[in-house]
Amino acid sequence: MALSSLAAWRWPASRLTVFLAAFALVALSFADAHALHFVRPPLTSIVIDAESGKVLSEDNADLSNHPASLTKMMTLYLVFEALAQGKIRLETQFTVSDYASGQSPTKLGLLPGESITVHDLIFGMITRSANDAAMVAAEGLAGSDDAFVQRMNAKARQLGMARTFFRNPSGLPDPAQVTTARDLSKLARALYRDFPDRYAYFATEEFEFRGSIVRNHNHLMSRFAGMDGIKTGYVNASGFNLAASAVRDGRRLIGVVLGGRTAVTRDDAMAALLNRAFGQGGDPIAALASATDNAEARSFAQRSSPILRSLAPIASAQAAETPMPKLRAGETALAREPRSEQRWSIQIGAFSQRGAALRAAQAAVEKLASIRGKMVEVLSPSRFDRLYRARILSFTAHEAERACGLLHRLHIACAPVPPGTVHVASR
């Protein structure tokens, strides 16, 4: 057709109007559908007392949202349960399937056919929130992810999580995988209540995996007084999620925030909620220094109450091989050196002042006859924090585990530490 003919050609006005209206309707429908895909529920939250389960504050706590990687809390619950039942051990190795290896990031980069210990799967899920690790754990425990998901949902019903439905073990996007802030607080509390000797894993800042340092995504732990876990999560449909646990003055609170617009706003919301529930307003970062200073002024017995036993942070680079705070019967410690060598130590706590750390270690030695005469040392702050770590030296792995068990009964915080510490000692 000639250009002159094109210039002369016109659609009838009525037909052109109908066409444009139809086009606009289709475009708007597409835009609406696209927008709905990314519309997230409003921020929801809940704070509970870990001991009693009493709700201290809530805001739309029963509103449905996607759990994202907070799903891994249930996966970890079932892993801890299998450990407690003796079905697996920390050193049990699971084989990586093609399906598990092909999970979307974030992941550890596991390859098909290789093996990985349950120990590394746990820390991979807690720190990197590794989706491949979650799938390996699911397949290793139940034979398939479908069978594992059935266990997840059965356990959810058992724990009273009435509005939660799991569809995969990792939290990767699935429209049918939903939960609520209230349900997740029940799960977080169950982890603390049912597995007190595993709960300290959630305080791990980072661990070494095959020569690389894997860091925890929960950055609020480093700037909020007493926080020691639990889990972060994010997918487009959910927004930024966080389940958190913190201890102050011997009281543990658990909070859940779902639907944050950014990681920062989510963290700030959690800090404000916990501060309010603890009866302490103000800047959560400033509260860290204040709470630490107050802790130094309190007696050692108060600082070492049972609920604080998980607040004895182990050096970051040692977390991968440190059994915290004790091992189940029949499990073996994962160390790089023979268990027969008396090169293990036990950590009593981490303090903002060297003098407080030294007094804590000396007090622990005096409390337990079997470790009297042991050498005490204080490790200088690492580049990751500003805390002095109080340790008692010269144990075998078995002796360290036994000593910590006895100290726990005396309400003194303790965690065995394997050989190979990376800090320079300050005596």
Annotate 260-321 with DSSP letters as a single string: ESSHHHHHHHHHHHHHHHHT--S-HHHHHHHHHHHHHHS-HHHHT-GGGTT--PPPGGGGGG
Give yes or no for a contact between 67 and 177, defined as CB atoms under 8 angstroms apart: yes
Those residues whose C-beta lies under 8 Å from the C-beta of residue 135, and which sit 6 or more positions away, are 97, 99, 100, 103, 145, 168, 169, 170
More confident residue, 291 or 2: 2
400: Cβ contacts below 8 Å, ≥ 6 apart = 344, 345, 346, 416, 417
What pairing do the DSSP bridges indicate for beta strands 388-395 and 115-117? unpaired
Q: Which of 1-15, 28-42, 179-193, 285-299 has the lowest mean pLDDT?
A: 285-299
Beta strands in 73-211 (DSSP E): 93-95, 115-117, 206-209
Question: Which of 69, 170, 238, 304 is an active site residue?
Answer: 69
Question: Which CATH superfamily hosts domain 44-297?
Answer: DD-peptidase/beta-lactamase superfamily (3.40.710.10)
Instruction: Return the domain boundaries, the chain.
Output: 44-297, 300-426
Count the neighbouring beta carbons within 10 Å of the beta carbon of residue 314. Answer: 25
pTM of the entire predicted model: 0.62
Give the pLDDT of residue 408: 76
Beta-carbon contacts of 297 under 8 Å, excluding residues fewer than 6 positions away, are none
Of 72, 107, 231, 326, the catalytic one is 72
pLDDT value of residue 332: 35
Give the C-alpha separation, 339 to 247, whole Å. Answer: 33
129 is catalytic: yes
Q: Which of 350, 285, 342 is nearest to 315 (CA)?
A: 350
Q: Which two tokens stand for residue 171?
A: 């939290």
**Average pLDDT of the chain, as a whole number:** 76
Whether 72 is catalytic: yes
The pLDDT of residue 59 is 95
Write out the two tokens for 379.
């490790």
Local structure of residue 336 (DSSP, 8 states): S
Residue 122's nearest CA partner among 81, 163, 178 is: 81
Q: Closest by alpha carbon to 135, among 153, 154, 159, 116?
A: 116
The two domains 44-297 and 300-426 share their CATH topology (first three levels equal): no
What is the reported pLDDT for 198?
Answer: 85
| Residue range 378-416, pLDDT digits in tens | 887 765 556 778 889 888 877 887 888 788 777 777 887
**pLDDT at residue 385 in the model:** 58
Angle, helices 131-142/72-84, rounded to nearest 10 degrees: 40
Q: Is the distance from CB of 326 to CB of 196 less than 8 angstroms?
A: no
Specify which of 64-73, 274-283, 363-372 reaches the highest per-range mean pLDDT. 64-73
The CATH superfamily holding the domain 300-426 is Sporulation related repeat (3.30.70.1070)
29 is catalytic: no
Per DSSP, what are the bridge partners of residue 242? 232, 257
Q: Which of 45, 97, 101, 129 is catalytic?
A: 129
Report which of 199, 387, 189 is spatially closest to residue 292, judged by C-alpha positions: 387
d(C-alpha 256, C-alpha 141), whole Å: 28
Label the pairing between strands 376-379 and 388-395.
antiparallel
